[in-house]
A and B are shown apart, each in its own frame.
Chain A
Amino acid sequence: MNEPFDAKSSENQYKLLGELTVPLDDSELFTATSVEHWKQVTEKIAWFVCLLATLVLIVPMMAILTYLLVQAWPALSFSFLVENPHNYMTAGGIWAPLVGTFWLVWISLLIAAPVGVLAGVYLNEYARDNWCTRIINLAVVNLAGVPSIIHALFGVGAFVMFAGMGRSLLAASCTLAVMTLPVIITSTREALAAVPRAFREACWNLGASRWQTIRTIVLPNSISGILTGVILQVSRAAGETAPILFTGAVFFSTLPEYGIQAFFPYGLGDRCMALSMHLFTLSTQVRGVTPALQYGTAVVLIGLVLAVNSLSIGLRVYLRSRKKW
């Protein structure tokens, strides 16, 4: 026992580390049994499979978007955006549908945003937790799940026929507004719920009424969150086709190309072209369209929608970063 420690001796199974002896061969301390080995393998497999599932979603999408962009490249130019389609839509640009989409989205926004925001205010600030509120919640959820073609039928039945708007810009915008309402309600509610209750209580303590509190405290503190939802609505409305197909969109209409008239080509009672509808028409209804024109329209539509969406996402990230409470 008094022999000096020889690290190189034949019994160098152990190494001295201060007071601690550690087996050099860790098999003595920890042996992966077959069960544990299996565990590690399954974890690796599961990780890989899940990664694969994610990649299968994202990589092809990227590839397809790139492919669309490459195909559309010859058509994309400034004149493509500002020219009207001509020669039975086999040539020219997309100005008329672009303006149509712009007005459809704005008018639907003007209708849906106030109603949606007030509904969100009601659900978050006024409604108590009773059966009536539960039914409203259920209605919002189900309204969000109603298929777009049913919205189209509703638009035809209610706005075009019953309200006597006929097939018009106004009827199409109303239909889009109904469709996008639940999105606005839900996001407004979330934005309002994020305002701490203490803010409201402090305001009530000063003697403010409910409406005063909402006006001066709750809405200013959640306005950006509400905007995020509204912007998201814009992107959804811009891309929809089915609801406007029978309520106001038209395959083709001739428009002035120059002057102030080019920006206000449609009255509320006119039928209008729309970008999403135009893509549908170009790819399935018209013969002899150069592919670049179709791809170009698709790319502009995707670009528009994704740009609006990125704006919304960016706003959300920015908000989260500077949240004060």
Chain B
Amino acid sequence: MNDQPSTTRRATKRGRARLHAMLQVVLDRTEPAVEWLIRLCGWSAILLVFGIFFFVFREALPMLSGKLNLTEFFTSLEWRPTAEPVPHYGILALLVGTISVTGLAMLMAVPLGLGAAVYISEFSSGRMREILKVLIELLAAIPSVVWGFIGYMVLGPIIIRLTGAPVGVNLLNGSIILALMSVPIIVSVGEDALKAVPDSYREAALSLGASRWEIVYRVLFPAAKNGLLAAVLLGVGRAIGETMAVLMATGHAIQIPHSLVDPIRTLTATIAAELGEAVQGEPHYRVLFVIGLVVFVLTFIVNLTADLVVKGIRNERAV
């Protein structure tokens, strides 16, 4: 009563309230439609996964149905998609390139990643842990093209100076870069897995007189082994699919590597390098989609396994 708002203000207030009420009514009336929209969006992920497979498959299909000799495709070392009169589509060297660079990267990334995960989860605490986690997260945020740039401009010259290799962009360079790229995911998933082990396990081990290392090695590793395996698999999945970094840092030579400093080429880099030049609808263009299908299936299997492994622990816990 003391401070009566002016009539105009009261009017606008009332108007706004009425507008708000009307909006609410409209929103309420649309509930069935909205629910359908929400449901549709919920299913979008499934649609997209199938869509991705479908559209990549669709472009690859004319090649798959007869034109491409699959035995040659998987076992030949010759990748000469533009050779006249008979082009050669053999991806063995590319496949070996992908596998070798991924394997080498994992040799570096797994010990580093698990070590860092153990350090962050078990040996550090409080503010230090938060800072380390943020730093690792920032490591994950650096775009792949920047990693490629680092490999090309910074790491390459260093490798030439240290090993005397003729070119700096090679298997070693690519795998170091890939290792650095896939480590963050290994660390964060691995750390989650270690954190998921109940504290009572740690306390029981402590009361038996175990040292911290014994807790990690004898208690946490066995208890979290599925989670750690999933972490490694997700790292592998990331490394197989990585494109720009390996395109720039591995040297782009189609061959089976014989030493650490041989340049190589991967499946993904081939697609990225050649799709721009390939004529739409030509066999070369379609073969690149077939390679895409191979990469898709590879990563799909790896990711699916990782997911099933994680599901496995969850079910075990529930029992």
Contact = CB atoms under 8 A, between A and B. Distances in A.
Given A162-B55, A211-B28, A245 B46 contact: no
B127 to A, nearest CB: 12
Given A115-B44, A122-B42, A309 B141 contact: yes
B116 interface: yes
A78 B109 CA distance: 39
B107 interface: no
B243 A52 contact: no
B52 A149 contact: no
A209 interface: yes
A301 B141 CA distance: 11
A69 interface: no
Contact of B115 (A54, A182, A309): A54
Contact of A123 (B42, B142, B238): B42
B289 interface: yes
Given A119-B42, A162-B55, A239-B143, A211 B234 contact: no
A39 B52 contact: no
Nearest to B59: A157
Nearest to B296: A150
A153 interface: yes
Is chain A's interface secondary structure helix, strand, loop, or mixed overall?
helix
Interface residues of B, number: 87
Nearest to A243: B243
B139 to A, nearest CB: 6
B153 A52 contact: no
Is chain B's interface secondary structure helix, strand, loop, or mixed overall?
helix
B115 A142 contact: no
Contacts of A32: none
Interface residues of A, number: 89
B119 interface: yes
Interface string B36-74: 011101111110110110011011000000000000000
Contacts of A294: 149, 153
Given A42-B211, A145-B303, A294-B153, A245 B146 contact: no
A126 B116 contact: no
Contact of A241 (B44, B139, B145): B145
A168 to B, nearest CB: 15
A280 B116 contact: no
Interface stretch (A14-22, A132-140, A220-228): A132-140
A151 B71 CA distance: 27
A57 B211 contact: no
Nearest to B298: A147
B248 interface: yes
Contacts of A284: 152, 248
Chain A CB within 10 A, most for which of B45, B150, B187: B45
Interface string B104-118: 000000011111101
Nearest to A45: B213
Interface of A: 39-40, 42-43, 45-47, 49-54, 56-58, 60-61, 64, 67-68, 114-116, 118-119, 121-123, 126-127, 135-136, 138-143, 145-154, 156-158, 161-162, 178, 181-182, 185, 209-212, 215, 235-236, 238-242, 245-246, 276-277, 279-280, 283-284, 291, 294-295, 298, 301-302, 305-306, 309-310, 313
29 contacts: A39-B213, A50-B116, A57-B139, A61-B135, A119-B38, A119-B44, A126-B38, A136-B46, A143-B45, A145-B241, A145-B302, A146-B49, A147-B242, A153-B55, A154-B55, A154-B56, A157-B58, A158-B51, A181-B48, A239-B144, A241-B144, A276-B244, A298-B149, A301-B143, A301-B146, A302-B146, A305-B143, A309-B138, A309-B141
